[in-house]
């Protein structure tokens, strides 16, 4: 039987999340439905924060908004003391609306447009550039007192190829050879203080990797500081903290990472005489992924060459399995105690054959009207959803100690044509 863990619970064979019965939730809000547990987000934040801050006081977490932009979740993380990693003007706008002050943001756009750089500068958001050529483009709009650069330290790691953001194939960051040039140029143009940043991959489940990569960034930072005689306000080691999706994957030992990364960090700041910079991390997935499930109802079952279980969520609702081949655990929420007995494909209503959440997955017997729960969907779930095949986006519900409320209403048909204009001659 599938392993379930907090915030999920098996009560008499029925899946509960945060003390709420999933069958009741599906009845009240309809499906497909994203359901988030507030306490789990808070616990994730606190666990990660403590793992580092108990080893190095000047540690801060900046939540990566792109993982999930729901303002209710942003407010939760803000109340825990999080800052935010923002990757574009809209994320600056959303973070401001959720109450974050711009000094608690870091703007790490990639391949920026000029007006995006201008927007970040005008909003006083600390800027993290990712190429030497971007310095002059930014300076057209004014001189920032502070600047950070995203470094590609030459190695990266991720849960699949598409989740590796550093190394030779990656489009991100400034390569080591050019890093000094970037800081030198910025310094010569009058920038007074600096940060250094990397984001080398996502969903890493190897504790040692975080230590290795921190050491690598610190060596680069050390060389820059020595050559240019600058001090870093912060060192940002990015996100990437993995969450187990498949049953054979193991939870990260986050305390071990916190301890060993901080040790490496302290050793390196001493070695290069870097003072006491803030240590930053910008997790997305780790904070929100396992706080949420996607509830979807079985409508149609077909016995063809294979057995297809048709549900009302599709690649428009959750696209990770389709584009990355990502594994997501799926439970029969109304029948948790049933033993697995047959291999089935769990598929959505979109007119593409790639619209399959699971292939040849061993599942208990599933019947029409059963309720399925797709796990670990809090990160890059709703945020990557679309209206493809003309399907309005799902609703989102937040649970707090057994109470639930809507945090995003289900879209309707008119939302599919919002902003559309028909030329006069076609009316
Ligand atoms: N910082 C920056 C600059 C980033 O680009 C990202 C994620 C993060 C932090 C947060 O990374 P995390 O802690 O979540 O690994 N759609 C993919 C993941 C894309 C991650 C993009 N960047 C997926 O569904 O697996």
Annotate 141-200 with DSSP letters as a single string. T---SEEEEEEE-S----SSGGGB-SSTT---SEEHHHHHHHHHHHHHTT--EEEEE---
| Closest C-alpha to ligand 1, atom 23 | 380
Let me know if 351 is a catalytic residue: yes
Residue 379 in tokens? 């990160």
Peptide bond into 352 cis (omega under 30): no
Length of the chain equals 427
What does the DSSP 8-state code read for residue 340?
P
Rounded to a whole number of angstroms, the CA Rg of the chain reads: 23
Whole-angstrom distance, CA of residue 326 vs CA of residue 340:
21
Q: CB–CB of 331/13 below 8 Å?
A: no
Residue 85 beta carbon below 6 angstroms from any ligand 1 atom = yes
> How far, in Å, CA of 258 to CA of 351, rounded?
45
Residues sharing a CB contact under 8 Å with residue 255, sequence separation 6 or more, in sequence order: 51
d(CA 207, CA 205): 6
Q: How far apart are CA 246 and CA 321, in angstroms?
A: 12
Nearest C-alpha neighbor of 335 from the set 356, 303, 366, 305: 366
CA of 365 to the centre of ligand 1 (A): 36
Q: How many CB atoms lie within 10 A of CB 103?
A: 11
Convert 169-183 to b/e letters by CB count within 10 Å (16 or more is b): ebebbbebeebbebb
Beta strands 146-152 and 128-129, pairing class:
parallel
DSSP 251: P
The CA 401 to ligand 1 mean position distance, Å, reads 29
Low-confidence ranges of the chain (pLDDT < 70): 1-2
Cβ 385 under 6 angstroms from ligand 1: no
282 lines ligand 1 (CB under 6 A): yes
Closest CA to 368 of 303, 294, 293: 303
Q: Is the beta carbon of 157 within 6 A of some atom in ligand 1?
A: no
Query: Among 64, 91, 294, which is best to mutate for testing ligand 1, by the most ligand atoms less than 8 A from CB?
Result: 64
Tell me how far the alpha carbon of residue 240 lies from the centroid of ligand 1, in angstroms.
6
Q: Measured in angstroms, how far is the CA atom of residue 172 from the centroid of ligand 1? A: 12
Which of helix, strand or coil describes residue 55?
A: coil
- Which position among 203, 262, 289, 351 bears the catalytic label? 351
Model-wide pTM > 0.95: yes
Determine contact, residues 145/191, Cβ cutoff 8 Å. yes
Phi, psi for 64 (deg, rounded to 5): -85, 105
CB under 8 Å to 277, separation ≥6 — which residues?
A: 58, 231, 232, 233, 234, 235, 269
- Rounded to the nearest angstrom, the distance between the alpha carbon of 21 and the centre of ligand 1 is 31
- Element containing residue 225 per DSSP (H, E): helix 207-228
Q: Which atom of ligand 1 is nearest to the CA of 159?
A: 25
The CA-to-CA distance between both ends of the chain, in Å, stands at 58
Q: Is 163 in the pocket of ligand 1 (CB under 6 A)?
A: yes
* Cα gap 63→423, rounded to integer Å: 42
Q: Which of 66, 245, 374 to mutate to test the pocket of ligand 1 (most atoms within 8 A of CB)?
A: 66
Going along 4-134, which residue ranges are E strands? 8-11, 14-17, 20-21, 33-37, 59-64, 83-86, 105-107, 128-129
pLDDT at 308: 98
The predicted structure's pLDDT at residue 2:
57
Q: What is the pLDDT of residue 213?
A: 98
CA 170 to CA 168: how far, in whole Å? Answer: 6
């Amino acid at each position: 039987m599938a392993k379930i863990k907090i915030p999920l619970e098996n009560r008499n064979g029925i899946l509960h999340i945060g003390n709420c019965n999933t069958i009741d939730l599906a009845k009240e809000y309809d499906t497909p439905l994203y359901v988030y547990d507030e306490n789990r987000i808070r616990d994730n934040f606190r666990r990660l924060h403590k793992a580092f801050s108990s080893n190095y006081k000047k540690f801060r977490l900046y939540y990566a908004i792109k993982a999930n932009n729901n303002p209710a979740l942003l407010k939760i993380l803000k109340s825990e003391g999080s800052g935010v990693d923002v990757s574009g003007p809209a994320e600056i706008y959303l973070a401001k609306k959720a109450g974050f002050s711009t000094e608690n943001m870091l703007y790490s756009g990639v391949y920026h447009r000029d007006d995006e750089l201008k927007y970040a500068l005008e909003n006083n958001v600390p800027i993290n550039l990712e190429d030497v050529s971007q310095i002059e483009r930014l300076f057209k709009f004014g001189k920032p007192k502070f600047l950070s650069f995203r470094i590609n330290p030459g190695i990266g790691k991720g849960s699949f190829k598409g989740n590796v953001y550093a190394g030779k194939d990656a489009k991100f960051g400034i390569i080591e050879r050019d890093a000094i040039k970037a800081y030198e140029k910025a310094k010569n143009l009058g920038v007074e203080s600096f940060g250094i940043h990397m984001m080398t991959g996502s969903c890493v489940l190897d504790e040692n990797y975080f230590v290795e990569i921190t050491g690598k960034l610190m060596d680069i930072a050390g060389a820059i500081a020595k050559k240019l005689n600058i001090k870093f306000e912060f060192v940002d080691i990015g996100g990437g903290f993995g969450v187990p999706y498949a049953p054979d994957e193991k939870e990260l030992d986050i305390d071990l990472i916190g301890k060993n990364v901080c040790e490496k960090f302290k050793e390196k700041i001493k070695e290069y005489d870097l003072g006491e910079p803030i240590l930053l991390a910008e997790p997305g997935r780790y904070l929100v992924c396992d706080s949420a499930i996607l509830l979807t109802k079985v409508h149609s079952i077909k016995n063809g060459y294979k057995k297809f279980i048709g549900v009302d969520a599709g690649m428009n609702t959750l696209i990770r399995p389709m584009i990355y081949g990502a594994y997501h655990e799926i439970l029969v929420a109304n029948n948790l105690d049933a033993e697995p007995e047959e291999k089935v494909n769990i598929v959505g209503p979109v007119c593409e054959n790639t619209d399959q959440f699971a292939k040849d997955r061993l599942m208990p017997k599933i019947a029409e009207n059963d309720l399925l729960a797709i796990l670990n969907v809090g990160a890059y779930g709703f945020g990557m959803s679309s209206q493809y095949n003309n399907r309005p986006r799902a609703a989102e519900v937040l649970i707090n100690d057994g109470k639930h409320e809507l945090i995003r209403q289900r879209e309707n048909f008119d939302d599919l044509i919002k902003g559309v204009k028909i030329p006069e001659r076609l009316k």
